[in-house]
Amino acid sequence: MARRTRTRLWDPSGRRFGIPTHPRKKVPPHLRTLRQLAAEGLRPGDQGPQAQVLWCSRVPGPPRVRAAYLYDVRLAMPKRTPGRRTRTAAPKGRTCPECLTQPIDHRLGVCPDCAEEAAA
Ligand SMILES: [Zn+2]
């Protein structure tokens, strides 16, 4: 029984399902689900689903086949994180536009040194 189930969900050429299909224990090592990519700090990038993994749900009730798309980790891109955007944008906004080294005083629009120079 179990053996037949594994075969039923195995279609590496995609002939039966239209997309290469692997049972959970036979997923090639370079393929990841969205959740696995995210756990590695990656996102699919421009690629569409490369394959799918099918498995029988263990939830009580009538047997249901669950599916998840798989993406090629070699085509994946680093995840865009708000943290990285903030890190590159923040220092620019806080640096004095005159000397480009001192932190800005927001009331003056420049750093205190440059404000003093401008006033002198
Ligand atoms: Zn300055």
d(CA 17, CA 27): 15
pLDDT-wise least confident of 49-53, 78-82, 104-108: 78-82
Residues near ion ligand 1 (Cβ under 5 Å):
96, 98-99, 102, 111, 114
Give Cβ neighbours of residue 85 (< 8 Å, ≥ 6 apart). Answer: none
CA of 84 to the centre of ligand 1 (A): 26
CA of 6 to the centre of ligand 1 (A): 68
d(CA 31, CA 17): 17
CA of 82 to the centre of ligand 1 (A): 28
CA of 116 to the centre of ligand 1 (A): 9
CA of 89 to the centre of ligand 1 (A): 18
Q: In what helix (H) or strand (E) does residue 54 lie, and over which residues does it extend?
A: strand 51-56
pLDDT-wise least confident of 4-18, 37-51, 62-76, 103-117: 4-18
CA of 18 to the centre of ligand 1 (A): 62
**pLDDT single digits (tens) 5-55:** 557 888 999 999 999 999 988 999 999 999 999 999 999 999 999 999 998
